[in-house]
Amino acid sequence: MTAHPAGPLSGDVRVPGDKSISHRAIMLSALAVGQTRIAGLLEGEDVMRTAAAMRALGARLTRDAPGQWRVDGVGVGGLAEPDDVLDMGNSGTAARLLTGLLATHPVFAVVTGDASLRRRPMARATEPLAQTGARFAMREGGRLPLAIAGTGEALPLDHRMTVASAQVKSAILLAGLNARGTTRVEEPVPTRDHTENMLRHFGAELTITRTDDGRVIALAGQPELRAADIAVPGDPSSAAFPLVAALLAPGSRLTVRGVGLNPLRTGLFDVLRSMGARLSVENSRCEGGEPVGDVTAEAGTLTPADTAAGIVPSMIDEFPILAVACAVASGTSRLRGLGELRVKESDRLAGTAALLTANGVACQIEGDDLVVHGAGGAPPGGGEVASHMDHRLAMSALVLGSVCRAPVLVDDTAFIETSFPGFVPLMASLGCRFT
């Protein structure tokens, strides 16, 4: 697909439901007693893989209309052994969270994924989960496929996080649901807390204590989760693409409605404001335990960014699109502590640098930092970008092409559907030109 230089962008739109919350909504609904109604569920491929897995494990899921689902749960401890391999496609979130669920159920299961997911590390989750009594076998380097022999006599975990990963933290908490006693997770660097919010929403007994070393999350095991309806907010990681495009295309102004504004997810918005971005929020409210609002972006001049490593967990998925904003800013930006991007859907750090370099933007990787020398306006463009089966690289490259002086070609955009179904027509409705 080719992105052509666009004029001013405008519109008033919604983006698909939050992917992180959608995964968790399906999983916890499946463990609740009774029927949960979910509104605004993201129906991208990643979340549909989670839905298929929970069906295979005994829950009943019914789609009533686009984004409107009913889930009849089996209760904590009630998951059944699947008849076949559980294929999680491209979703690391689904694979790691599901591993936590299965670890403390007395079932045998095999989890796999596509070529990209099979390259991503799983040991960071399975090593602590093995302390519950579950057994794991996987390929060299801790890669999928993963065979899981869960335990029916699970021990609670007391784990201090060594990597800032909401997926690993969530896997441990989900395992703790079917363990006797209290599971504790010590988190030196706070990561997105959707799992904690949703566990409370379904009636779990969970406390968070703040300490000098971070925070400690304690979950009482073997609760009876109760069905509780959920409204999934718009995904801030998806909203980032049209909002940044509007910030960069002169004369643009657009609003994205109903965006999730959890403070552990909005690091990108904070960084953009520090660069001088004209971002405003109206109609702030709380839905299903999550803060939500309408976000408006207006084009203007951006100054360089200098991000601290500590902000990485709150915007782990947004660095490629931030790098695009830095490419248009006036001056040199330094994005620090991005080592975790090397083990996303692709080596996202190298991929981001490559997409900029291919389009005439000077940049370099220094250790775990990305340094971007902004053009102070529209970059040259005219390059071809390899997406490496990474939806966020593909979308970032298309946004870059919309604000460059020459078109940008992206080799493969099929994987955009995993997180943002309808991305191309939505961006076209705002004024982007993709062919």
Which positions are catalytic? 317
What whole-number distance in Å separates Cα of residue 105 and Cα of residue 103? 6
DSSP per residue, 158-199: EEE-SS--HHHHHHHHHHHTTSSSEEEEEESS----HHHHHH
Q: Where are the alpha helices (DSSP H) in 219-305?
A: 236-248, 267-274
Q: How far is CA 368 from CA 145, 179, 312, 327, 346, in A?
A: 29, 38, 12, 18, 15
Tokens found for residue 338 = 């991005």
What is the rounded end-to-end Cα distance, in angstroms, of the chain? 6
Contacts of 275 (CB under 8 A, 6+ apart): 302, 303, 304, 305, 325, 329
Within 180-331, strands assigned E span: 182-187, 206-211, 214-220, 230-231, 253-260, 278-287, 290-298, 306-307
Describe the crossing of helices 391-403 and 423-430 by its angle, rounded to 10 degrees.
20
